[in-house]
């Protein structure tokens, strides 16, 4: 069954965030071209390295915007999970491109250390100062997103949810059934003895989808679930961090350009340009490492950072009516969208619908909106529904 589309109750703030990212993308792209041309004219590797850092920003903005657009496309027959991982593929391509460009610049910087070449310090300084101004403008564009009503809070306590509970029990060897659990309170519930006993082979399979008044953005960690920050705001915060890095880098280029300009007649100062290239190349690699880590987490289906699978296992096992939990898996469809599946063995007196309701409610309290839970009775394996 395809993953249900998440609600977009706060589409206006999300659209505003996308518009800001697009504005920053256009400004960064234009100035990146200016830096490439100016760097070639000034014969400055430091400016071109700054342009490479801007390339990482441009690609990051573009991936965030395109991922938001593609994520809205409905699931299809061959892509039942939708197109959320387009973001991961785009981020991987952008990081590899930035690292390739940075590697080439480092190679050239080594050559400049060995054989210094003249650099136009005045032009280098002017471009860097303009870069400082551009970064200030980008910070102004991206920075005003925390006012009242400007962020999309993902709430599990006051949201609107749909509660559809049903299960099917059979007295023969096989079992099949679906239970759809919803709750207005995203807290774990301890269940009392159920009124109707389950059959020897009772199996419930849940696709849980919560339509919250706080919007459709999934979160990566429990802290995010309580803090009300969605994936769009994560993109915005990441963009601001990158722009701050650009701001610092532009100041460094301006200082190096000023030194070369003031000592234009002394060739020994030309070495300041490749030295800046080494420093800023390290900054580029440092700022992209977190992106590469997130890509690796998704591709290796790592448990989302901020979630502890042992704690989840223990919490699910303590739900009344649960004998044991096995085959528990927690992973990310894309950063910010965690998924869970598990086999749960029920006690003989447990009501599958109530147990499923409690289990999925606890998953939602952790920010896991899509959980698939197979219920089994009396410790006996049952066929997959």
Question: How many C-beta atoms lie closer than 10 Å to residue 82's C-beta?
Answer: 22
Query: Helix, strand or coil for residue 370?
Result: strand
Locus of tokens 């029990």? 169
Q: According to the model, what pLDDT value does residue 62 have?
A: 85
Give the percent of the chain with pLDDT over 70: 69
End-to-end C-alpha distance for the chain, whole angstroms: 12
Q: According to the model, what pLDDT value does residue 378 have?
A: 61
Locus of tokens 């706060």? 10
- Do the beta carbons of residue 36 and residue 246 sit within 8 Å? no
Question: For 340-372, what is each residue's pLDDT tens digit?
Answer: 999 999 998 889 999 999 999 999 999 998 999
- Stated as kind and residue range, the H or E segment containing 320 is none
Q: According to the model, what pLDDT value does residue 287 have?
A: 79
Q: According to the model, what pLDDT value does residue 265 have?
A: 84
Question: For 208-238, what is each residue's pLDDT tens digit?
Answer: 433 333 333 332 233 333 333 455 555 667 6
The segments of the chain whose pLDDT lies below 70 read 1-14, 71, 144-236, 238, 378-385
Q: According to the model, what pLDDT value does residue 69 have?
A: 78
Treating both helix axes as pointing N-terminal to C-terminal, what angle do 231-262 and 11-42 enclose, rounded to 10 degrees?
Answer: 20
pTM of the model: 0.65
Q: According to the model, what pLDDT value does residue 19 have?
A: 84
Longest CA span, the chain: 94
CATH 3.30.70.1350 fits 309-377, yes or no: yes
Q: According to the model, what pLDDT value does residue 50 have?
A: 87
Domain extents in the chain? 12-144+237-300, 309-377
Q: According to the model, what pLDDT value does residue 360 have?
A: 94
Q: According to the model, what pLDDT value does residue 353 have?
A: 92
- Stated as kind and residue range, the H or E segment containing 372 is strand 370-377
Distance CA 7, CA 326 (A): 31
285-310 exposure pattern, b = at least 16 Cβ within 10 A, e = fewer = bebbeebeebbebbeeeebbeebeee
Counting Cβ atoms within 10 Å, is residue 79 exposed (0-12), middle (13-18) or buried (19+)? Answer: middle
Alpha helices in the chain (DSSP H): 11-42, 45-71, 86-114, 121-143, 222-227, 231-262, 272-299, 309-317, 352-365
Q: According to the model, what pLDDT value does residue 14 have?
A: 67
Sorted by sequence, the CB contacts under 8 Å of residue 69 that are 6+ apart come out as none
* CATH number among 1.10.1660, 1.20.1510, 1.10.10, 3.10.450, domain 12-144+237-300: 1.20.1510
Q: According to the model, what pLDDT value does residue 231 have?
A: 55
Counting Cβ atoms within 10 Å, is residue 223 exposed (0-12), middle (13-18) or buried (19+)? Answer: exposed
């Amino acid at each position: 069954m395809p993953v249900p589309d998440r609600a977009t109750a706060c589409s206006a703030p999300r659209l505003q965030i996308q518009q800001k990212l697009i504005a920053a993308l256009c400004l960064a792209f234009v100035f990146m071209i200016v830096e490439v041309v100016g760097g070639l004219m000034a014969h400055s590797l430091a400016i071109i390295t700054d342009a490479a850092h801007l390339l990482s920003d441009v690609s990051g903005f573009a991936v965030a915007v395109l991922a938001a657009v593609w994520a809205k496309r409905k699931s299809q027959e061959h892509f039942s999970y939708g197109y959320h991982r387009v973001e991961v593929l785009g981020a991987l391509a952008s990081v590899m491109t930035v690292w390739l460009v940075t590697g080439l610049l480092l190679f050239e910087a080594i050559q400049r250390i060995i054989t210094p070449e003249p650099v136009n310090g005045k032009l280098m300084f002017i471009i860097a100062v303009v870069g400082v101004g551009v970064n200030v403008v980008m910070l102004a564009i991206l920075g005003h997103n925390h006012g009242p009503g400007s962020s999309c809070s993902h709430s599990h306590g006051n949201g609107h949810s749909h509660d559809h509970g049903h299960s099917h029990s059979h007295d023969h060897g096989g079992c099949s059934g679906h239970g759809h659990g919803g709750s207005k309170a995203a807290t774990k519930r301890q269940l009392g003895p159920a009124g109707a006993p389950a059959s020897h082979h009772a199996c419930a399979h849940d696709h849980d989808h919560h339509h919250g008044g706080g919007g459709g953005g999934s979160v990566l960690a429990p802290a995010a679930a309580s803090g009300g920050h969605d994936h769009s705001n994560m993109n915005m915060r990441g963009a601001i961090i990158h722009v701050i890095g650009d701001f610092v880098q532009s100041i460094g280029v301006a200082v190096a350009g000023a030194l070369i300009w003031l000592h234009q007649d002394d060739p020994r100062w030309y070495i300041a340009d490749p030295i800046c290239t080494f420093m800023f190349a390290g900054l580029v690699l440092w700022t992209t490492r977190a992106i590469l880590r997130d890509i690796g987490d998704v591709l290796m289906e790592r448990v989302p950072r901020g979630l502890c699978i042992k704690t989840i296992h223990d919490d699910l096992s303590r739900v009344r009516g649960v004998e044991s939990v096995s085959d528990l898996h927690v992973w990310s469809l894309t950063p910010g969208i965690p998924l869970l599946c598990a086999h749960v063995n029920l006690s003989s007196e447990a009501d599958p619908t109530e147990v499923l309701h409690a289990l999925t409610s606890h998953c939602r309290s952790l920010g896991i909106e899509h959980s698939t839970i197979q219920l089994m009775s009396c410790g006996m394996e049952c066929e997959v529904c």
